[in-house]
Structures are given as C-alpha cells and as structure tokens.
Amino acid sequence: MPTYSYRCPSCGNAFDIHQSFTDDALTVCDRCGGALRKVFSPVGIAFKGSGFYRTDSVASASPKTDGASGGSQDSAPASSPAPASTPAPTPAAPSATGSSTN
C-alpha cells in the first residue's frame, strides 16, 4: 500500500499514513479539526541496468566519435613506429649473451 503524507496548514500537524488507492483522501485534521492538505514529495527511484548513468552515455558515444573521425585512426599508425624504436636496445642484449660465452 502506498504511503501518503498530509499536513494541516492551521496547526502544522504533519504525518504519513498507509492508504489503499481506493481509499478517500483524508480531509480533517485529528488535532484541530482543520482542513488537511496532501504533501507531495520526491519519490525514490532505482534505475537498474545500463545506460542510466552519465558515464554510460558518454562511453557509448565516445566509440562512435572515434570511429567517425579519421584523424584518430591516423594517430594510431603514428604510435606504431614507437615500438620499432624499442628493438634498437636489443643489440645490447646480444652483447650480454656474448659476455656470457666468454
């Protein structure tokens, strides 16, 4: 059953009550006999699954952006020559093996 909040503007009495959807709304304050007003407040919502967080939408948009721009694909081959410079230190490794044979 839903919980409804009521408040009396006359005396300031505020309370929550469980009522069925078919029950009539309360109209009379128990303390002072004044008119009651329903109080509307934000509801707690839990979103489950993917796509609800700001980071989810950004992550799904960034692969589309990377695939759409040709500039990012051109920058990937530029990083390929960097590993080519890595084998240059390998000649130092054969020197180490040469000293082990001495």
Question: What average pLDDT does this structure show over 72-77?
Answer: 50
**Confidence band of 32 (pLDDT split at 50, 70, 90):** very high
Q: Which phi and psi angles does 88 have, rounded to 5°?
A: -55, -40
**Confidence band of 45 (pLDDT split at 50, 70, 90):** confident
Q: Mean pLDDT over all residues of the chain?
A: 72
pLDDT at residue 80, as a whole number: 52
* Residue 99: Cβ within 10 Å count: 8
Q: Say if residue 41's pLDDT is above 90.
A: no
Pair of tokens at residue 44: 């707690």
* CA 44 – CA 32 distance, rounded (Å): 32
Q: Say if residue 85's pLDDT is above 90.
A: no
pTM score of the predicted model: 0.43
